[in-house]
Chain A
């Protein structure tokens, strides 16, 4: 079952887009549309995690967090455009689990949500992270950083693994070089276009070594696919 995340945010656009972002990340997202009886709605929804804006109409997110804490231990992440250290401290003292300042980066936000959920153990995130992929008889073991074909194995570096992971997740589809590079940057591998080519060449060598040829197809000007 996907973790249920309650969004308490008064900016309509941010609320809507946050919901889409979280749903794309395979969470169940619920956004509050009115802020009169928040506690009632929190009780009703009983979420696994709450994203809480600090500047709400009617009341402050800090006070709300105190109220929530009186009833439940559900993890709370503050979202705010304030960057004062005092505010951050206040948030933690009121029982918040994390504090993220706007404008937040989608990957960072998702990573923090993941971290809080993991730490608090609340609501198991749906196991969408399959650790093994098979494509044309080649098996990619994400957890072990291994490529296997029949009985031959090749070890992969982190960057190579991430590239293959992205390709194996979408078999038959071309993934543009730009998207691959961006995906790698989001995973803390900061490479440029040439380095990507080098990595792909190394992967091809490794594939060749385990007897696989032409698994990765290059389409000039578009990208790669498996």
Chain B
């Protein structure tokens, strides 16, 4: 809503009508008391001029005041601070309004602070909880490993080893879910925990495959990794994202799953592609897979989907400045691409 002259006059219509009525009454009175028409005209003209001048000055003053306020409102990010930022004004009404706005803002700000604090506390609690729960996960993992492994000569009975393997797989699933909670809690503040380093993707991908080996072997997966190109990014976050992509590859696998992981050097960056020969994604659903809570027909037909994995991947990629692309042919497979940009100064550093 802006201030216009017409609206301003409309607002003061009562005052103007009152003045016109007074003019009318004065004319009638002067006429009756026998004054001449010329005197009357001069009086009315002056009256009208003074009234118009007063209206104009008031209009200009108000217009300037509100335009300035609007400008301030448009410029600041925290609009709820308007009460503090309103231009000073001598007008009584302005001061009253300003005081009321200030009080209202204050209560909003207090409320926001409270919510922020409780959200922060909750996030910290989740992070701590995740770190605590990782100790028993490690314990289970080591117990299974030691029970299963030591040289076949000392190995436990085949049935027992079978059970330990199954426990390991389930334990790995727990770890993956727990990681998701951790990275979701952290996704808001990626910048706080972000160290860009030269990162060896081959090593990261191999470690993820190794970590999930029992789950992957159990599903008959075969994988090829060929990632010689280094990128500059934070390995930990990328490992989480690639892990999610692999978990999807396993979830929506074909009878003989094959994963191909490759890097390709391009003009303005390095692409990491994770390709599978799984069930693929219907073309009409492809654009929605990164939405929060979207499960699609695959998610319903196959293992239960949470609709969180890819959403988180997209969100983290945005924060890391990494592109994330999905291509798929339904029934043939899916290719996910992570695009790592190379900034010019890093290029120069490499040349040195």
Contacts and interface: CB of A to CB of B under 8 A. Distances in A.
B146 A178 contact: no
A11 B135 CA distance: 8
B166 interface: no
Contacts of A35: none
Contact of B139 (A14, A24, A170, A182): A14
B142 A108 contact: no
A81 B175 contact: no
Say whether chain B's binding surface is mostly helix, strand, loop, or mixed: helix
B84 interface: no
Given A85-B234, A179-B152, A14 B222 contact: no
A172 to B, nearest CB: 10
A121 interface: no
Given A102-B137, A185-B210, A188-B210, A21 B142 contact: yes
B134 A24 contact: no
A20 B155 CA distance: 14
A185 B213 contact: yes
| Chain B interface extent, by class | 35 or more
Interface string B221-260: 1111100000000101000000000000000000011010
A108 B207 contact: yes
Contacts of B143: 13, 17
12 contacts: A11-B135, A14-B138, A20-B150, A83-B182, A85-B234, A102-B134, A102-B135, A103-B138, A105-B207, A188-B209, A188-B225, A194-B222
Interface of B: 131-132, 134-135, 137-139, 141-143, 145-146, 149-153, 165, 175, 182, 193-195, 206-207, 209-211, 213-214, 216-217, 220-225, 234, 236, 256-257, 259
Interface of A: 11, 13-14, 17-18, 20-21, 24, 81-86, 88-89, 102-108, 170, 173, 175, 178-179, 181-182, 185-186, 188, 190-195
